[in-house]
Copies of this chain bind each other. A is one copy, B any other.
Amino acid sequence: MLTPMAAALEAVLFAAGHEGMKTRELAELFQVPEEQVRSWCEQLQRVYEERAGGLAIVEIAGAWQIVTRPEFAPYLTRMAQRPAAATLSHAALEVLAVIAYRQPVSRADIEAVRGVQSDRAIQTLIQRHLVREVGREDTPGRPILYGTTDTFLQVFGLRSLADLPPVPEEADLPRHVPLFSHPAVSPRD
């Protein structure tokens, strides 16, 4: 048995579909503080996990939503003809990784890490809305700085940038290569 509040939350998240509802939006809708809403969502998330149904509650790019569990994908691919996902090239994935972990970052920085020209891959990522210009570096020439978008979080199923998994073997790295220092909090819209 769900509490009436959990039931209402479930109905709202269901109706919101893939757009999801941000914690703030839910707080406004239910006229309660954000922490309260967050705790309700987390409770509902646990209830869903315990009943082991076909659905799960997730928080992606700051929005709560109901999605199907990955193990049922075989049935769903048969059912819904999803357009083939455009896959990213090896190079584009590398560039995306540099931007994701080091943002905000300039093209020169990206190329320094990869040792190869990267403008094409950057353009591809911008075109796919995975990456965007987030500002200019305060150095001569004022190079463009790149960062990831909300679409990036959605595609990779991340709650926020803080959710980016740490790269393994971090301890092995010598001190003076701050490659995977925690991502700077970048202004987002």
A interface with B by C-beta (< 8 Å): 1-2, 6-12, 14-19, 21, 25, 29-30, 50-55, 66, 68-69, 72, 75-76, 78-80, 82-86, 90-91, 107, 111, 114-117, 119-120, 124, 127-129, 151
Closest to A72 in B: B11
Chain B positions within 8 Å of A51 at CB level? 1-2, 51
The answer to whether B117 touches A54 (Cβ under 8 A) is no
Report copies per complex: 2
Q: Given the known inter-chain contacts A7-B52, A7-B53, please indicate yes or no for A116 contacting B86, CB distance below 8 A.
A: yes
Add 14 more A-B contacts to A1-B52, A14-B55, A15-B79 (CB < 8 A). A2-B54, A7-B54, A8-B72, A10-B54, A11-B53, A12-B76, A25-B84, A29-B75, A29-B78, A51-B51, A83-B111, A86-B115, A115-B127, A116-B128
